[in-house]
Amino acid sequence: MFITRESDYAMRVVRALMGETRLSVSDICGREAITAPFAYKILKKLQNAGIVQGYRGVHGGYALKKDPAELTLYDIYTAIDSDMSIIECLNGRCECVRNGQNGVPCHAHDELKNIQDELWTMLRRKSMQDLFGKDAE
C-alpha cells in the first residue's frame, strides 16, 4: 500500500471540515492547498463513503457527516482507495501464485499479511478528533 496524494488530501479535506458547520470547496482548497478539481473528486468519494455531506445551492458546500471522534485515517484512506493492500497478492482480487505452490507455503506472503494487518490496526487506533481536535477548537 502506498498512501497516495489523493488519500493524503482526503485527510486534509476532513481536517478542514472539522469544527465547521459547512465550507465551500474554495474555502477547503484555500485552507489545505488543494486544487478545486482534485477536491471535487475527493469530496465525491468521501460523500459516497458517508463521511461528508454535500449541500447544493447558493449556501451550499460540504460538512462532515461522521463524528470526528469515530472517524479514523483507515476510514478515510479506504474511502479513497478501497484496495489498501501493501502487495498485490493480498488485495483479495489476485491470488498469490507462489503461496501453496507444490504444497509449499509462501512465508513472505504470511509475513506481509501480518504486517498489513498491523498497519490497518495502527491506522484505526486514533480518531481524527484525537489527531486534530485541538486544531479545530
Q: How many domains does the chain have?
A: 1
Q: Which residues of 6-15 are buried (b: 16+ CB within 10 A; e: fewer)?
A: ebebbbbbbb
pLDDT at 28 over 80: yes
CATH number reported for the structural domain that contains residue 84 in this entry: 1.10.10.10
pLDDT for the residue numbered 103 = 65
pLDDT digits (tens, 9 = 90+) for 51-74: 999 999 888 899 999 999 999 999
Residue 40 pLDDT level (bands cut at 50, 70, 90): very high
pLDDT digits (tens, 9 = 90+) for 76-135: 999 998 877 777 677 665 666 666 666 666 777 778 888 988 999 999 999 999 999 765
Query: Collapsing DSSP states into helix, strand and coil, what is residue 59?
Result: coil
pLDDT for the residue numbered 102 = 66
- Structural domain of 114: 5-136
> Beta partners for 23?
62
* Nearby residues of 53 by Cβ (< 8 Å), 6 or more positions away: 47, 62, 63, 64, 65
Closest Cα to residue 63, out of 96, 6, 16, 11?
A: 16
For the entire predicted model, the pTM comes to 0.83
